[in-house]
Chains A and B, each alone.
Chain A
Amino acid sequence: MNAQAMNEDARRVLESLPADLGAKDRMAIPVTPMPSQEPGVRCHNMHEVALGYGEDQAVLEATRCLQCRNHPCVAMCPVSIDIPRFVGFVAQRRFREALDVIQESSLLPAICGRVCPQENQCQRNCTVGKARGSVDEAVAIGRIERFVADWARKNGIVPLPPIAPDSGKKVAVVGSGPASIAAAADLRREGHDVYMFEALHRTGGVLVYGIPEFRLPKALVESEIEKLRSMGVHIETNYLVGRTRTIRELMEEDGFDAIFIGTGAGLPRFMGIPGENLVGVFSANEYLTRSNLMKAYDEEGSRTPIYRARRVAVFGGGNVAMDASRTALRLGAENVTIIYRRTREEMPARREEVEHAHEEGVEFMMLSQPVEIVGDENGRVSGVVVRSCELGEPDQSGRRRPVEIEGSDHLVPFDCVIVAIGNSSNPLIKMTTPGIEVNGKGNFIVDEETGETSIKGVYAGGDIVLGAATVILAMGQGRKAAAAMNRYLAAR
């Protein structure tokens, strides 16, 4: 069914509702489905898969909210958005007010509405979901949030926060991903002179190089960055802190009073199995960067090559593995297989992403551990040796541990392998900043309350502290650190 018809359905439901809605009436309304491109169509294009609610769908979905007293949704939101209040405004078609409520806490609703794992956060303990017996039945807060953000963009409403008078303090923000965007905005609001340094030619970090266009249109990221520019944040691209200038030089020679480091988890991990350096083996970062940032999917326009393959294996079960496999399909692979050592139940990817991948034709080889990548006489990938597993006792993560079955090795033909098993923290700043303390994984050790590192005036947040996590958690850390930095700078 097309998006317009779905919205008309929603309008009819709205019109049929009694004027004075009780909790029971609200709870009787089923979840409003999200219109999306048909799987058979979308697997051949890069356009966004989920099309977003129309006005009536958003209002209908918001009407499901009971405005319950304990609002468990707010407690589960990493940036504590006043969810019932903004959802309440949407139910009354007061979208502008809804936007203002969100903007009190979050700068990036268009992005978070799309990529937050709401089922594990705001929607997880939703009273409606609990009453209806499934988290899938919770109020679709993320979809409503996205609607509000898209409505604002469509209507040219770009609310800029007020900026305090010049504080005379200069602050550097290293990196331009979600943690840095959030920190830069909060620091600028206090009147500090904020410089954002980005190594790539384009800002947005993982939002532009990692998450594909079909899940997060790059124009949205660009407009969020544009907001920072309008607020007066200086943005320097092609500037690699650690090489172009070191942290110490920024502090001692260039006159920065404080620095926020949000450089993310940008060092791809590999399996450590034989054959990983064969031609045709890529980190998900490289594969996705070629497609997303360098636009290699546009064969006519782009000058960056991408490896054309017929049979693609993707190692891993997270969101990045889903992104990589769906990208490979869109780039023309005939067969894309996710190889994962546990089962679909244990996959760390969002269920919606797994379902989307499945609908589009990605195959899942579960309970399978790749043990070797095999190459042909030219050193190019020709297959993967896979060992079967079974599930054993739960491990520390609470998920059942995969146990390899001896003697079950079998060779499966592939001509390309994408390794999507996670990232470690980038070592560059650690290497070039004496005195900065990191843990065994290379993540920065910071004061949990303030985000301050072992160097005075230097703060950090996002994946460089958390290890690979989510956009919204990174944003939450950026905001927390910025608040501490604002206090630190005010006291100086």
Chain B
Amino acid sequence: MNRIISKRQLSAEVFELEVEAPLIARERRAGQFVVLQLGDDFDERIPLTIADADPDKGTITMIVQAVGESTHRLVRLEEGDSIANLLGPLGSPTDVHRYGKVVVVGGGIGVAPAFPIAQAMKKAGNQVRVIMGARTRDLLIFEERMRGVDADAIVVTDDGSYGRKGLVTEPLDELCRDWKPDCVVAIGPAVMMKFCALTTKKYGIHTLVSLNTIMIDGTGMCGGCRVVVDGRMRFVCVEGPEFDGHLVDWDNLLARQSTFREYEKAHHHKCHIDMMIEEGRA
């Protein structure tokens, strides 16, 4: 179960994993995610978005950025290895219907989950424009796939090493002003989504964001994923992950994401050293 069929490195720290998961592949819709856990009880459970699925082959594709200890260990697995526990598909699927004109914004590895949504939006009869951003050229992923949805996809990098130099909010502002979309979907780091929502708010354009929060079970039991939307407490795992970006309390979300930062820093450092020892580099 959950065998890794293929593994590809997309950039310095981003990997694409295709994993055998026939039940999840069959049920999954754009916008949903999985919770995975590498080994036994002592391993962390982490949520990851599903970037693609092949129901015939019975596989799902996940894009993983090695940022914490668990993701580092995950990307060190090889083809043929198995992921001990994989639960999904979780969350409510994206509300895909015919809006008219849709802008899909993806930032960092957020481009991966944005891709199936862009695809689904186009299939539903929408005109779709894509904006994709990365810190630098080496970290840009899924460009070809996104160009399959929008041949004129706009690429921006923070350092100007590829495409336009700047942030995704600049071309988003221009499209809002000139192209006048009916809906914007933004997926990426919380800060990016916050500023995308602020940008579209000026134009009063409906904006969906996909929130990635702290989560344990992914079924509504722990409440760790709670966010404030329109003044109400909501659970990302069951009621989300997508919410109206104009109604999300972003500052609270950003603060809550930092709950275990001290622990993560300390632990990450320790695990890096352990890995270097294992690999004979230290």
Q: A residues within 8 Å of B by Cβ?
A: 199-202, 209, 237-240, 243-245, 266-268, 270, 276-280, 282-283, 285-286, 289-290, 293-295, 298, 301-305, 307-308, 378-380, 426-428, 431
Q: A270-B223, A280-B259, A379-B255 are in contact. Are A200 and B88 (CB under 8 A)?
A: no
- The smallest beta-carbon distance between A184 and chain B, in angstroms, is 20
Report how many residues on chain B are interfacial, defined by Cβ distance under 8 Å. 44
Of A201, A243, A276, which one neighbours B37 at CB under 8 angstroms? A201
Contact B223 A268 (CB under 8 A): yes
Instruction: Decide: B42 and A428 in contact? CB cutoff 8 A.
Output: no
| Residues of B close to A201: CB separation below 8 A | 37, 41, 45, 84-85, 87
B281 → chain A, closest Cβ, in Å? 22
In the complex, how many angstroms separate the beta carbon of A252 from the nearest chain B beta carbon? 14
Query: Which has the most chain A C-beta neighbours within 10 Å: B43, B85, B223, B249?
Result: B223
- Give chain B interface residues in 191-230, CB to chain A under 8 Å: 216-224, 226-228
* Given A243-B27, A244-B88, A277-B233, A285-B221 contact (CB < 8 Å): yes
Across-interface contacts of A266 in B (CB, < 8 A): 219-221
Q: Do the beta carbons of B90 and A240 come within 8 Å of each other? A: yes
Find the B residue at minimum CB distance from A425: B220
Most chain B beta-carbon contacts within 10 A, residue among A200, A293, A295, A307: A200
Closest to A269 in B: B223
A-B contact pairs, 10 of them (CB 8 A): A201-B45, A282-B223, A283-B222, A286-B224, A289-B216, A294-B216, A295-B41, A303-B69, A305-B267, A308-B263
Known: A240-B219, A280-B259. Is A303-B233 also a contact (CB below 8 A)?
Answer: no
Give every chain A residue within 8 A of B86 (Cβ-Cβ). 238
Tell me the complex Cα distance, A282–B42, Å.
21
Q: How far is the CB of B76 from chain A (nearest CB, A)?
A: 14
A277 to B229, CA, bound (A): 12
16 more A-B residue pairs beyond the given contacts A294-B44, A303-B70, with a C-beta to C-beta distance below 8 A: A201-B84, A201-B87, A243-B90, A244-B23, A244-B27, A245-B23, A276-B233, A279-B259, A282-B224, A283-B224, A290-B216, A293-B216, A304-B45, A305-B264, A307-B259, A426-B220
Shortest CB distance B241–A (Å): 13
Q: Number of A-B pairs whose CB atoms are under 8 Å? A: 131
Task: Determine how close the nearest CB of chain B comes to the CB of A429; give it in whole angstroms.
Answer: 11
Asked whether, in the complex, the Cβ of A279 is within 8 Å of the Cβ of B256, the reply is: yes
A268-B221, A428-B220 are known contacts. Are A303 and B258 too (CB-CB below 8 A)?
no
Contacts of B263 in A (CB 8 A): 305, 308
> From residue B220, how far is it (CB to closest CB) to chain A in Å?
5
Instruction: A294 to B224: give the CA distance in the assembly, Å.
Output: 14
- CB neighbours of B43 from chain A (8 A): 303-304
Q: With A266-B221, A285-B221 given, is the CB distance from A305 to B88 under 8 Å?
A: no
Using CB atoms, name the residue of chain B closest to A303.
B44
Q: Taking CB as reference atom, which chain B residue is nearest A276?
A: B233
- Which of A238, A285, A301 is in CB contact (< 8 Å) with B85? A238
Within the complex, the shortest CB–CB distance from B191 to chain A, in Å, comes to 15
Picked from A199, A298, A308, A379, the residue with its CB within 8 Å of the CB of B42 is A298
Which residues of the partner chain A approach B233 to less than 8 Å between Cβ atoms?
Answer: 270, 276-277
Convert B2-39 into 0s and 1s, putting 1 for each residue whose CB lies closer than 8 angstroms to a CB of A: 00000000000000000000011001000000000100
Asked if residues B24 and A244 are in contact (CB atoms below 8 Å), the reply is yes
Q: Which of B88, B255, B267 is close to A279, meaning CB atoms less than 8 Å apart? A: B255
| CA distance in complex: A163, B220 (Å) | 36
Q: Which residues of the partner chain A approach B220 to less than 8 Å between Cβ atoms? A: 266-267, 426-428
Which chain B residues numbered 78 to 101 have a C-beta less than 8 Å away from chain A? 84-90
> How many angstroms between the C-alpha atoms of A289 and B222 in the bound complex?
7
Q: Tell me which of A283, A294, A379, A426 contacts B45 (CB under 8 A).
A: A294
CB of B219 within 8 A of CB of A426, answer: yes
What is the CA–CA distance of A27 and B233 in the complex, to the nearest angstrom? Answer: 56
Q: Which residue of B lies closest to A378 (CB)?
A: B255
Select which of A202, A277, A295, A426 is within 8 A of B226 by beta carbon: A277
CA distance A378 to B249 in the complex (A): 15
Contact B41 A307 (CB under 8 A): no
Write out the residue numbers on chain A whose beta carbons fall within 8 Å of the beta carbon of B88: 240, 243-244
| Cα of A305 to Cα of B259 in the assembled complex, Å | 10
Measured between alpha carbons, how far is A9 from B109 in the docked complex, in Å? 68
B224's nearest neighbour on chain A, judged by CB, is A286
Residue of B nearest to A280 (CB): B259
Residues of B within 8 A of A239 (CB): 23, 87
C-alpha spacing A428/B24, complex, angstroms: 17
**Most chain A CB inside 10 Å of its own CB: which residue of B27, B84, B85, B259:** B259
Distance in angstroms from A266 CB to nearest chain B CB is 4
**Contact yes or no, A293 B41, CB < 8 A:** yes
Q: Is the CB of B41 within 8 A of A305?
A: no
